[in-house]
Amino acid sequence: MNQRQKEEYLREYSILKSEGKPFFPYAVAKDAAMACVVMICIITLSLVLGVEQGSKVNPTTTTYVPRPDWYFFFLFELLRVIKPPSLVGLATVGIPTLGMILLFTLPFFDRGPERRPERRPIATATFVFVAIAMALLTYDGATVGTPTALNINLPTSVAQQGTAAVAKFELGREAVAQNGCEDCHDIAGNGNSGPGPELTYIGSRLPANAIGRTLANPTAPMPSFKNLPANKFDAIEYFLSQLK
């Protein structure tokens, strides 16, 4: 702030101060009234609508998909996209805390007198960036599938083979997710990178029948899947053979 801006500010401030009303009781009374309105709204809503408690807890469920409340979707998605286990601390605590600290210290390093958004390009750009990033993360977090669902696009070669092939591919993708293959295999960025080999391009390495042989008679620690229903077994074999 230069000398001229400072004087201008002090002049404006003294005018406002002589014209304005004191904080107590005027502003306090207004705030108190608004606080009462908000409280009455909350009490009325809770009496009329009640709290949604969801279904009863079932400790034996294996299909429950844990999800945070919507306003935490961006944090949830941040944790989901940052995959390496060593970076989990960064995603859960590091980045949000850093953001909070920066926000908290903002008034100390941004000391310019300007208040119009168009005259504060850095602040405005930062706000727009953060708002867009949070909106996108919230959207992605809200629309992700189950934790084990495979995020793999339909290859065009399969699409060209017709609807039966597409259905088989999709059944296979679902069966792979349901049978925990991702616990041991990385498939196009889904799942863990070991102890099993990456399967992203398994179709160009092994023909379908060889994949089937591995599924039925694997080497430990991979479990055998020969007792799966035949349609699922075939679908998994087909699905993997199309990953090229």
Q: Which is nearer to ligand HEC, 75 or 199 (CB)?
A: 199
Give the whole-angstrom CA distance, residue 151 versus residue 179: 15
CB of 61 to ligand HEC, least distance (A): 21
For ligand HEC, how many residues bind (rule: CB under 6 A)? 25
CB of 80 to ligand HEC, least distance (A): 21
Give the whole-angstrom CA distance, residue 34 versus residue 42: 13
Amino acid symbol at 95: I
* Both structure tokens of 9: 């500010």
Q: Which of these ranges, 5-13, 106-114, 117-125, 179-187, lies near ligand HEC under the rule CB under 6 A?
A: 179-187
Interface with ligand HEC, residue 240, by CB under 6 A: yes
Give the whole-angstrom CA distance, residue 192 versus residue 21: 64
Binding mask 211-230 for ligand HEC (x = CB under 6 A): x--xx--xx-xxx-x-----
Q: How far is CA 87 from CA 81, 82, 141, 201, 224, in A?
A: 11, 7, 19, 27, 33
- What residues line the site for ligand HEC (CB under 6 A)? 176, 179-181, 183-185, 195-197, 199, 202, 205-206, 211, 214-215, 218-219, 221-223, 225, 236, 240
